[in-house]
Copies of this chain bind each other. A is one copy, B any other.
Amino acid sequence: MTRVLVDTLKCVADLRWLKLFEVSYERPSGARGTWSLASRNATPRLDGSPLSPAAVFLVPLLRTPEGTRLVMMREFRIPLGDYEYSFPAGLLDPGESVETTARRELHEETGLTVTSVRALSPAVASSAGMTDESAVIVFLECTGTPHTENCEASEDIHLLVLDFEQMCALRRTPVKFSSKAWLITLLFETVGRLDWPAALLEGT
Tally of this chain's copies: 2
Q: Produce 1/0 per residue, A160-204, CB < 8 A to B.
A: 000000001000001011111111101101110000011110000
Q: Which residue of B lies closest to A76 (CB)?
A: B4
Contacts of A182 in B (CB 8 A): 121-122, 124, 137
Contacts of A77 in B (CB 8 A): 125, 128-129
CA distance A22 to B14 in the complex (A): 11
| Min CB gap A84→B, angstroms | 5
Q: Which residue of B lies closest to A15 (CB)?
A: B36
Pick the most buried of A6, A37, A179: most chain B CB atoms within 10 A of its CB: A179
CA distance A10 to B186 in the complex (A): 37
Given contacts A3-B76, A20-B13, contact A47 B174 (CB under 8 A): no
Contacts of A200 in B (CB 8 A): 186
Is A38 among interface residues, defined by CB-CB distance under 8 A? yes
Which of A26-34, A61-69, A96-104 has 4 or more CB atoms under 8 Å from chain B?
A26-34
CA distance A200 to B174 in the complex (A): 15
Given contacts A4-B76, A46-B79, A128-B77, contact A37 B18 (CB under 8 A): yes
Is A148 among interface residues, defined by CB-CB distance under 8 A? no
**Contact residue among B15, B128, B198 (Cβ-Cβ distance under 8 Å from A80):** B128
Contacts of A134 in B (CB 8 A): 179
Given contacts A28-B156, A131-B130, contact A20 B4 (CB under 8 A): no
Interface residues of A in 31-80 (CB under 8 A from B): 31, 33, 35-40, 44-49, 51, 57, 76-80
Can you name 25 A-B pairs with beta carbons within 8 Å? A4-B156, A19-B20, A23-B78, A27-B154, A29-B156, A33-B154, A40-B130, A44-B79, A48-B81, A77-B125, A80-B125, A80-B128, A123-B176, A124-B181, A124-B182, A125-B176, A125-B179, A126-B127, A127-B131, A127-B133, A128-B178, A179-B180, A180-B180, A186-B199, A189-B199
